Amino acid sequence: MFYASFQKNPLFIKKILLLLSLSGTTLHGALVSTDEVLFQEKFDSPEALKRWQTTGRAPEFLPGGGPGGSNAVRFVQEKKDGTTMITIPLDPAKISGPISFEGYIRGSGLSGKASYFGPKFMLTVDDGRRKDFPEPEKGFGSYGWKKVKHFYNLPAGCRQLEFSTGIQTGRGVLEVAGIEIRRAREGSDAEAALDALRADTSDMPRGPVVPGFRTEFRGVMSGDDLSPEAFAELGRWNVNLLRYQMKPSGELQEKLSSPEAFLAWIDSEITRIDNELLPLARRYGIKLVLDLHYGGRKVTRLQSNRLSPNSTNIELLEKVWNKLATHYRNNDSIYGYDLLNEPKPDDAANNPWPEMAQRLVDVIRRIDPDTPIIVEWFLTPPFAVHGENIIYSFHFYSPMEYTHNQVSTVRSATTWRYPGAINGIWWDKEQLRNQFRLCLDFQKQHKVRLYVGEFSVVAWAPGGAQYLRDCVELFEEYGWDWTYHAFREWSGWSVEHAGDSRRNHKKVNDSDRRQVLLKAFEKNGK
């Protein structure tokens, strides 16, 4: 599954769910900054930098070069995957409990070896058991001065606390000004609304960026139930697209220990699709996305979808798609071939996926010139491949602090609501729109179709129905097809379940989240 907002610097689920939880104190939603400043750096003079520890090339002092004529510092990293940073130790006896840290940054040509490298505006927190590295969204590429902000609950008994900024294992130019750490507290929703940063989307397009593009397919991801009754229910929902997850599970994963075994499993999947799924899909007017979701653990490394030039078995992938394309060419019940679910490069600076995707496209197009091919982006900027009838796909779960609340742990650190102030940012429909900037720029430049392969929010998230409604309305506004994650998979994603927590949710006859989807499915043609 993913989480793709290309403009944000994506964080792993584990790191996100540690947010505000290290102290064991539960905070509930509306956090606000106070006027109590615990640390401040205005870079009043070049001597201010002497208090900081420097790694790599020292930053340049910029008198009057910051927003509003304030002073700033500039980090320049010209070499690929280099580091230029400054770090200052902080006293955990004086800086404790809920805090916010904020400042101003400006970037030019910023990139990182991985999604969590590049521009840094970061705390390092060591409680003696583990380290955490909280930081706000910053973004790769180029942008003008903008304020960044992040909330965090420092653990009791914190042993070491540092603040760092600059460029880590990346390249580009980063300018920083006006760093502050403030005491935070729980406040009212109205206070949080005033305190939160808001997106400016006045420059963003409204409506399809490619004339004539419109949403035609609306559906769901497959789960564990693909019975005739399940398809009948999807028929009643008026779904016309099912993203079928082709993945071995349980003991079968261990059995796929050779390329031959993996290809034999693909043959069994073809049999299942032909004999069980396609007849039901045709009966209810549903097209299938063939999503290569998992693979053999020992040979292909596809189970985690981790990609590197030396360890990924591209030859086996070519055989897989040769087999599938040969069998399903000219089959009008197939929406598209989804080459690989959420491909994760081991090294974002040496990402093999664009080249791999091109090789797979070439294999398929030698056999099947017509069936759409779906190329996913995951934790990397959009890229294009050569070929006809290519659909580009991403997964959307922003902000993950909200959509994935309690996903990996039963105890939650905080309960955010939507729309609302989520970790110092005001999340509403316009903030969601703001996450699509790179996607829209890419689509406008290349005149290609986009497909949102996954999006969701947990069943107990306050405001979840409004979140889904805003997502769907934006997808439809831009003319993107979409599939909700997921139908009868984990109950936390199910719109047939509801509740107020992971511990307390259950199957229900209806839910407000389900009604959002049903309303959207009414537009489907069959």
Written as one letter, the residue type at 93 is A
Identify the three-state secondary structure at position 75.
Answer: strand
Say what the pLDDT of residue 505 is: 93
Of 179, 223, 224, the C-alpha closest to 87 is: 179
Of 350, 344, 307, the C-alpha closest to 80 is: 350
Cα separations in angstroms, 432 against 7, 201, 419, 423, 514 = 11, 10, 10, 15, 20
Extract the runs of DSSP E, i.e. beta strands, from 42-95. 53-56, 60-62, 72-90
Peptide bond into 10 cis (omega under 30): no
Q: What are phi and psi of 522, to 5 degrees?
A: -60, -25
As a whole number of Å, the end-to-end CA separation of the chain is 28
Helices 512-521 and 464-478: angle between axes, nearest 10 degrees: 20
Say what the pLDDT of residue 11 is: 37
Beta bridge partners of 130: none
Cα separations in angstroms, 21 against 90, 154, 214, 409, 422 = 20, 8, 43, 11, 15
Extract the runs of DSSP E, i.e. beta strands, from 267-331. 287-292, 306-307
**Within the chain, which residue ranges are assigned CATH 3.20.20.80?**
218-401+429-521
CB 374 within 8 A of CB 432: no
| 218-401+429-521 under CATH 3.20.20.80, yes or no | yes
Say what the pLDDT of residue 81 is: 84
Say what the pLDDT of residue 8 is: 38
Say what the pLDDT of residue 113 is: 79
Enter the DSSP assignment of 59. P
Helices 512-521 and 228-237: angle between axes, nearest 10 degrees: 70
- Alpha helix (H) ranges present in 284-392? 314-328, 353-367
**Within the chain, which residue ranges are assigned CATH 2.60.120.260?**
31-186
Helices 353-367 and 314-328: angle between axes, nearest 10 degrees: 30
Count of CA atoms in the C-beta half-sphere (13 A) of 244: 23
Q: What are phi and psi of 11, to 5 degrees?
A: -115, 150
> Under CATH, which number does the domain 31-186 receive?
2.60.120.260
Q: Cα separation of 79 and 77, whole Å?
A: 6
Enter the DSSP assignment of 276. I
CB 30 within 8 A of CB 187: yes
Q: Tens of pLDDT along 84-102?
A: 999 999 999 999 999 999 9
Q: Cα separation of 378 and 192, whole Å?
A: 32
CB 394 within 8 A of CB 439: yes
Q: Spell out, as residue ranges, where the chain has pLDDT lower than 50.
A: 1-27, 410-412
Structure tokens at 251: 């003991």
CB 496 within 8 A of CB 511: yes
Of 97, 96, 100, the C-alpha closest to 151 is: 100
Residues whose CB is less than 8 angstroms from the CB of residue 179 and which lie 6 or more positions away in sequence, other chains included = 39, 40, 41, 101, 102, 103, 163, 165
Count of CA atoms in the C-beta half-sphere (13 A) of 13: 12
Cα separations in angstroms, 295 against 317, 343, 424 = 10, 12, 39
Say what the pLDDT of residue 130 is: 87
Peptide bond into 399 cis (omega under 30): yes
Helices 314-328 and 259-272: angle between axes, nearest 10 degrees: 20
CB 460 within 8 A of CB 33: no
Give just the sign of the alpha carbon dihedral 33, 39, 41, 42: positive
Beta bridge partners of 143: 107
- Number of other residues whose CB lies within 10 A of the CB of residue 322: 17
